[in-house]
């Protein structure tokens, strides 16, 4: 169902009879079955095309808002489940702060770690290997040192030196070892 009301504006004071339709408000029945008023600009053909799209594929503003809220809720639930997984897997410390700070910081920390994992960064992979205590089994740097003549003790010492001194490793450690929810929130960007 289309219902149209024309909003006219007067252009120019010299000739007040000069009128031009600048925009149109339509009541459109969206694909979800709800009606809402929309304000459309442009040529009649463009407005008709937009209305046809609303009626065929568009959702009303209320349904769109509900859909986005559901998407956010689902994303939050997935991130909370991921936070639980990594807190256990990486033995992350419990965060300190208010209940709201801790909940928000857990999601932030999980999002940051998920982004690092997605990048497949060599330093991050080495960091996680060290964090898990599997240097001999999984560390590429350890294997490289052994292949080039280092003893197991020397290779492990070299890997741990990088872990202790490389600035990116320090940054990873800070995110993995902090207990301050406020620090995570403040450094989320």
What is the SS3 assignment for 2?
A: coil
What is the SS3 assignment for 59?
A: coil
**Tokens encoding 145:** 């040192």
Over its length of 189 residues, how does the chain's per-residue pLDDT go in tens digits? 555 544 433 344 444 443 344 567 889 999 999 999 989 888 888 988 999 999 999 999 999 999 999 999 999 999 999 999 999 988 899 999 999 999 999 999 999 999 888 887 788 888 888 888 888 888 888 888 889 998 999 988 888 888 888 888 888 889 999 999 999 999 988
- The predicted model scores a pTM of 0.64
Task: Give the whole-angstrom CA distance, residue 65 versus residue 51.
Answer: 20
């Amino acid at each position: 169902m289309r219902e149209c009301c024309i909003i006219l504006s007067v252009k120019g004071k010299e000739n007040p009879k000069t009128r031009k339709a600048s925009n149109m408000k339509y009541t459109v029945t969206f694909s979800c079955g709800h009606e809402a008023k929309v304000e459309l600009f442009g040529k009649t053909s463009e407005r008709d095309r937009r209305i046809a799209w609303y009626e065929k594929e568009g959702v009303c503003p209320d349904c769109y808002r509900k859909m986005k809220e559901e998407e956010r809720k689902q994303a939050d639930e997935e991130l909370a489940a991921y936070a639980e997984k990594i807190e256990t897997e990486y033995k992350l410390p419990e965060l300190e702060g208010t209940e709201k700070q801790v909940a928000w910081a857990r999601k932030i920390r999980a999002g940051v770690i998920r982004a690092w994992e997605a990048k497949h960064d060599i330093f991050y992979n080495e960091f996680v290997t060290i964090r898990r205590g599997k240097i001999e089994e999984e560390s590429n740097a350890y294997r490289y040192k052994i292949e080039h003549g280092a003893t197991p003790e020397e290779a492990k010492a070299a890997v741990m030196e990088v872990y202790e001194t490389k600035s990116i490793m320090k940054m990873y450690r800070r995110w993995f070892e902090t207990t301050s929810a406020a620090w995570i929130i403040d450094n989320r960007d």
